[in-house]
Amino acid sequence: MTENRLHKDTLVVHEGYDSKSHQGSLAVPLYQTSTFEFETAKQGENRFSGVEEGPIYSRLGNPTVRVLEDRMTALEHGKGTLAFGSGMAAVSSILVHLTKTGDHILCSRGIYGCTFGLLSTMEEKYNITHDLIQMRTEEEIEKAIRPETVCIYIETPINPTMELVDLYAVAAVAKRHGLRVVVDNTFSSPYLQNPLTIGADFVLHSATKYINGHGDVIAGLLVGNDKEEIEQIRMSIQKDYGGIISPFDAWLLIRGLKTMSVRMERHTSNAEKLVNYIKGHPLVEETFYPFDVDNPQYDIAKRQMSAGGGLISFTIKGGQESAQLFMDSLSLIKIAVSLGDAETLIQHPATMTHSVVPEDDRLAMGISNSLLRLSVGLEYADDLIKDLEGAFEKLEKVNDGKKIK
């Protein structure tokens, strides 16, 4: 493509904002208002009828939120974006938009726990069914398509197993069968992977994670490759279901997004160092990281991602008991769900993020009781390795039958 566009490192700082229209304010102003005053009754009429552009009421659009949306559109190579009050509001809005009673959704075999919960509710209440499949080959995807299938909904890398789904294969099958493709791109951020350029129709993010990057906002973003369709969702599902973002949270996301490139580089370089340490440890069974050369899916990772990112998962010898003791033996690394923050976080998916998934389904997703997920933060890598080392040493002592203090 010979697209004349600015580099993403520049877009995160500048896109969608011109200070000249805002009294020269270098920082994007926070329009912390619920409603907007019209100059005349006629102007109000014209805004509502769409004859005149301009803000009306913050559930229908807000200038601060709009800067965030326009910036995301450019970063994901899309045509339009909607900002939501949570990642799950973005997930539910796109699924409500794409499906009706009787339809079928084809999903990657691992999906976020609450997305799984939502799909179960949709099945129970509206007979909108779904299947979770591994999607190893185009044939496998094709075989799972039913006459009622309307969309393919995937995560890659999958939370929390770090398994990859081949975006090119999914896009090729979807095109042949006229299916819409939705990709939850939370784990990669727009910095590492842009599914719309590979053929996806929608990309969504829990902006709570890498986009904000500072662990102080819950928010979601939905980017589409069709401006009209995005505007249609804005003026129907988003307006009427009401899952909007607050202007202040949008303002914080704009601030967080400015450093996304530098943060992702550090998250990645730190994760690479930690992977090398973890995978060599005798108490570790398996390590999962997209850009690990020993990863059997390394070729897929290289094709669709620009780097491995900040998430690592690994299984530890000794099952749940060892996994929990390992977590309790860390001090710098915090026990918490969520990811993409400055702080390195560890969680136990089987009993935390994916505890809502019935055990059989959970094991089929590859989430065993000995799996741990590490979100590598921005600290100094050697300090993190020392913390891991200490926790492994405690485990070793227990394994040797010695009592720990």
Tell me whether residue 294 is one of the annotated catalytic residues.
no
218, 283, 332, 385: which one contacts ligand PLP (CB under 6 A)?
A: 218
End-to-end CA distance of the chain: 61
Q: How many helices (H) and strands (E) does the chain have?
A: 16, 12
Instruction: Tally Cβ neighbours within 10 Å of residue 280.
Output: 9
Is 225 a binding residue for ligand PLP by CB under 6 A? The answer is no
Distance of CA 341 to the CA centre of its chain: 13
Nearer to ligand PLP, 104 or 205 (CB): 205
Nearest to 154 by CA among 128, 186, 129, 197: 186
Is 88 a binding residue for ligand PLP by CB under 6 A? The answer is yes
Tell me whether residue 279 is one of the annotated catalytic residues.
no
110, 220, 318, 349: which one contacts ligand PLP (CB under 6 A)?
A: 220
Is 116 a binding residue for ligand PLP by CB under 6 A? The answer is no
Nearest to 328 by CA among 396, 392, 280, 402: 392
Nearer to ligand PLP, 194 or 322 (CB): 194
Nearer to ligand PLP, 184 or 292 (CB): 184
Rounded CA gap, 273 and 277, in Å?
Answer: 7
Q: Of the listed pieces 204-212, 268-276, 341-349, 376-384, which binds ligand PLP according to CB under 6 A?
A: 204-212
Q: Annotated catalytic residue: which of 112, 153, 210, 289?
A: 112
Rounded CA gap, 248 and 165, in Å?
Answer: 35
Handedness of CA 110, 114, 120, 122 (dihedral sign): negative
Is 238 a binding residue for ligand PLP by CB under 6 A? The answer is no
Residues 5-64 that bind ligand PLP (CB under 6 A): none
Nearest to 219 by CA among 61, 83, 375: 83
Q: How far is the CB of 207 from ligand PLP (least distance, A)?
A: 7
Q: How many binding residues for ligand PLP (CB under 6 A)?
A: 15
Nearer to ligand PLP, 250 or 391 (CB): 250
Q: Of the listed pieces 50-58, 74-82, 206-214, 267-275, which binds ligand PLP according to CB under 6 A?
A: 206-214
Question: 3-class DSSP state for residue 24?
Answer: coil
Q: Of the listed pieces 81-89, 222-230, 324-332, 394-402, which binds ligand PLP according to CB under 6 A?
A: 81-89
Nearer to ligand PLP, 47 or 209 (CB): 209
In whole angstroms, how far apart are CA 253 and each of 30, 74, 192, 218, 396?
12, 15, 18, 10, 42
Instruction: Tally Cβ neighbours within 10 Å of residue 386.
Output: 13
Q: Annotated catalytic residue: which of 57, 59, 334, 361?
A: 59
Nearest to 73 by CA among 209, 243, 239, 257: 257
Which residue type, as a one-letter code, is found at position 143?
K
Q: Of the listed pieces 189-197, 201-209, 231-239, 322-330, which binds ligand PLP according to CB under 6 A?
A: 201-209
Tell me whether residue 57 is one of the annotated catalytic residues.
no
Is 184 a binding residue for ligand PLP by CB under 6 A? The answer is yes
58, 86, 344, 370: which one contacts ligand PLP (CB under 6 A)?
A: 86
Angle, nearest 10°, between helix axes 319-328 and 381-399? 130
Q: How far is the CB of 204 from ligand PLP (least distance, A)?
A: 8
Nearest to 195 by CA among 67, 348, 78, 32: 78
- Two tokens at 112? 């976020």
Q: Annotated catalytic residue: which of 66, 71, 209, 263?
A: 209
Q: How far is the CB of 331 from ligand PLP (least distance, A)?
A: 25
Q: Of the listed pieces 168-176, 202-210, 303-311, 315-323, which binds ligand PLP according to CB under 6 A?
A: 202-210
Tell me whether residue 273 is one of the annotated catalytic residues.
no
92, 159, 287, 329: which one contacts ligand PLP (CB under 6 A)?
A: 159
CB 229 within 8 A of CB 109: no
Catalytic positions: 59, 112, 184, 209
Site residues for ligand PLP per CB under 6 A: 86-88, 112, 114, 155, 159, 184, 186-187, 206, 208-209, 218, 220
